[in-house]
Structure 1
Amino acid sequence: MGKWVFDGVEYATRNEMCKARRDRYVELIAGGMNYTQAARAVGVSKRTGKVWRNGRTRAGRRALPSVVIRYAPVMDESKTISPRFLSLTDRIGIADWVRLGWSIRGIARRLGRSASTISREITRNTNPDTGWYEPYRAHRLSRKRLARPKRAKVIVDHSLFVYIREGLGRHWSPEQIARRLRFDFPDNGDMHVCTETIYQAIYVQAKGELKKDVAKALRSGRTKRRSHAKGSERVSRFREPMVMISERPAEAEDRAVPGHWEGDLIMGANNRSAIGTLVERSTRFLILLHLPDGHDAEHVQRAIIDRMGELPAVLRRSLTWDQGSELALHKRISTSLDMDVFFCDPHSPWQRGTNENTNGLLRQYFPKGIDLGGYSRAYLDMIAAKMNNRPRKTLDARSPIEVMLDLIEAA
């Protein structure tokens, strides 16, 4: 009896079971199911499904041939279509009103559409054999046109591909090529493409030696698309949106109110180990975070919550960090400690000046290029105590621990 089971059937080997799963995936796609649903149905990830479709080479140098998928002429009716497309109900109405002799503009007003939309719908989908607009046939044709994936027009039409390639060879821009196509072939719609279609064909096909040819042909010399986002419109690198330092309260800036902290990591050899540092802005009080199991987001947020949870709530007002990935779970920190978390601007270490200065002082005990994973929590607490007992000029010769104890007693 086989030990590999899929869909209630046992197979003698894992390869047979995998083949059955892959074949089932192909059947579901051919039946109109989308990629995500099909992958979930056979119990694999979307990435594995993509490998099966495209024949990519996965880890371990194991090449997989692409599957042959024949797409259904009509897409799954359960798939949600954007309301900007005409529905079957709309098309039935159009057919009825056309037979009643309504005008194009009258039908458009009834459906809340533009007259050009209705005119184009009737022109494209009228049955040439009968001369009538048939709603079910029109809807079936429309759904078929939506089927994906489709081969790019530039690739399907060889003459169009050659024209674009020759235009690039003359150092014409994609916009110039698109305009010239309409000038040279005014009555041939198959030779008309927009500028964006040409750019996509260039960037997708620019591989290997062709990448060098494209770089020479385009004036910009780029073979990848450049983002058009403005520098000020930064996209958060974390799933939870970042609150930037510009929104931090003024009381944290002038250090008049205690409880505002700055944090960072000091890294060991080859960035394989780290120690977390937390410095209170007004007292310069230091807490060192023990990270023996790693300095990823999970371990860092847990260490911050454990150590700062020992402090009174009045001394947990805010935490400022750089945009390092180790604070990706900042929402957990904010929720657990009831403390705001702010992020510095990129490449702006001076916005955490107290923490940067403290990290420099700590290199006396933790020189660069050594492994920081071997230090115990007790040793880190001892180093923090030494730092906190140093008299500071900014504190009128008092030490951070003395000022912090006064604040805790007052709290």
Structure 2
Amino acid sequence: MIPLDYRISQRPDFIGDRSQFGHWEGDLLIARRELGDTNVTSLVERKSRYTVMIKNRSRHSRPIIDKIIDAFSPLPAFARQSFTFDRGTEFRGFRALEDGIGARSWFCDPNSPWQKGAVENTNKRIRRFMPGDTDLSNVAQQQLVDLAHHLNSLPRKCLGYKTPAEVFMAHLRECG
């Protein structure tokens, strides 16, 4: 069960309105059940739409959270302030995320994927390249890095036709 003070209704408005950099949404991309347990954590920074993708061998929470910690530890603290997840069991180890990199976790209401719309939109973009019948065990982490790089290099109307990579790097320079 998610503690009351971790629910999205308690999340500050500046996260929801994208006025502050360093707040992420996360989700799990899974393949058809018969293709096994391998999955991909997709993470999107809300303001820049910058995408990070991480391959996982299972849906167990601690290994997934540990990989998020490993991926985000090199970033300065202002670039990894919070993560908004759904209530999947894979994110139950959220306290380790707080202990590991100091990032606060927030959780959507049950059956409310629109509350993390940036990552849901990005997942649709990812599915153009990796449909649901993709055997994720055959996808290398480097392929995910390459796909994220491609997505981060596409200009977006919502970013004034800048790319997520440009906006992300500008915020790192500005705040760093």
Q: Which TM bucket (shorter chain)?
A: over 0.9
Which one of 1, 16, 19 corresponds to residue 256 of structure 1? 19
Q: CA offset at residue 274 of structure 1?
A: 0.8
1:408, 1:373 → 2: CA distance? Answer: 33
Which one of 136, 160, 167 corresponds to residue 372 of structure 1? 136
1:289, 1:377 → 2: CA distance? Answer: 7
Q: Is 2:59 the partner of 1:287? A: no
* Contact 2:27/2:41 (<8 A) preserved: yes
1:302, 1:295 → 2: CA distance? Answer: 12
Which one of 67, 83, 104 corresponds to residue 319 of structure 1? 83
SS in 1 for 2:109: coil
* Contact 2:156/2:162 (<8 A) preserved: yes
Q: CA offset at residue 370 of structure 1?
A: 2.1
SS in 2 for 1:290: strand
Paired amino acid for 2:44: V
SS in 1 for 2:128: coil
Q: CA offset at residue 249 of structure 1?
A: 1.0
Which one of 263, 274, 290 corresponds to residue 39 of structure 2? 274
Aligned to 1:345: 109
SS in 1 for 2:138: coil
Q: Deviations over 1:6-38 (max 9, x none)?
A: xxxxxxxxxxxxxxxxxxxxxxxxxxxxxxxxx
1:357, 1:295 → 2: CA distance? Answer: 22
Paired amino acid for 2:95: K
Structure (1/2) with the larger strand percentage: 2
1:28-177 to 2 correspondence within 5 Å? none
Q: Which moved more, 1:367-376 or 1:394-403?
A: 367-376
Q: RMSD of the TM alignment (CA)?
A: 1.2
Q: Is 2:93 the partner of 1:329? A: yes
SS in 1 for 2:44: strand
Paired amino acid for 1:280: E
Q: Deviations over 1:332-358 (max 9, x none)?
A: 011111111000000101100111000
Paired amino acid for 2:167: V
Paired amino acid for 2:12: P
1:182-221 to 2 correspondence within 5 Å? none
Aligned to 1:12: none
SS in 2 for 1:276: strand
Structure with more relative contact order (C-alpha pairs < 8 Å, separation 6 or more): 2
SS in 2 for 1:364: helix
Aligned to 2:148: 384
Paired amino acid for 2:84: T
Q: Deviations over 1:265-316 (max 9, x none)?
A: 010121622100000000000000121x322112111111011112111111
Paired amino acid for 2:31: G
Aligned to 1:309: 73
Paired amino acid for 1:344: C
* Contact 2:38/2:55 (<8 A) preserved: no
Question: Structure 2 length normalisation: TM-score?
Answer: 0.94
Q: Is 2:120 the partner of 1:360? A: no
Q: CA offset at residue 253 of structure 1?
A: 1.1
Q: CA offset at residue 378 of structure 1?
A: 1.0
2:97, 2:172 → 1: CA distance? Answer: 22
2:28, 2:91 → 1: CA distance? Answer: 10
Task: Flag as ranges the 4+ runs of structure 1 deviating above 2 A.
Answer: none
State the structure with more CA Rg: 1
Paired amino acid for 1:281: R
Percent of aligned pairs with the same residue?
A: 34
* Contact 2:22/2:82 (<8 A) preserved: yes
1:310, 1:248 → 2: CA distance? Answer: 25
2:69, 2:127 → 1: CA distance? Answer: 25
1:278, 1:334 → 2: CA distance? Answer: 16
SS in 1 for 2:53: strand
